[in-house]
Amino acid sequence: MQEVDLNWIAILVAAIVPMVLGALWYSNALFARPWMRAVDRTEDELKGAGRGYVLSAIAALFMSYALARIVRWAEVDDLWNGALVGLLVWVGFVATVLAVTTYFGGRPRALWFINAGYQLVALVLVGAIHGVWD
């Protein structure tokens, strides 16, 4: 595997983006209610989800690291192409996998739109950060 120099500060800062975005995206101000309907859960059932937040933080860190490597391998050094890398990762992997698991899991289409939309915005933003900063 080709060795690439990584900016660890950028990786850590970019990992914060999905956490902040997720807090907003899945809040009552945006998609909390339709998401809870789609997964058939209540607010009371979701209280005390501390482990979920830890898992989300770890996942965001790994996602940021992986996207940083892809951006470096692609020799991207600007915001727009970094965002494009995030978009391509979303289209090629996230959107497709979520579509299949949502369909075969018998979940409502709205759940795909909510979850895939969050991932799209997160990956484009993280890709843009790495495109500019790495």
Range of the domain at 40: 8-133
Backbone dihedral angles phi then psi of residue 40, each to the nearest 5 degrees: 55, 50
In a domain, 122, yes or no: yes
In a domain, 2, yes or no: no
Low-confidence ranges of the chain (pLDDT < 70): 1-2, 134
Residue 1: the pLDDT is 63
In a domain, 62, yes or no: yes
What is each CA distance from 12 to 27, 95, 105, 115, in whole angstroms? 23, 24, 33, 23
Condensed to tens digits (0 to 9), the pLDDT of residues 43-62 reads: 877 777 778 889 999 999 99
Count of domains observed in the chain: 1
Residue 35: the pLDDT is 95
Residue 56: the pLDDT is 95
Closest CA to 17 of 108, 102, 96, 83: 83
In a domain, 19, yes or no: yes
Closest CA to 107 of 56, 57, 35: 35
In a domain, 61, yes or no: yes
In a domain, 22, yes or no: yes
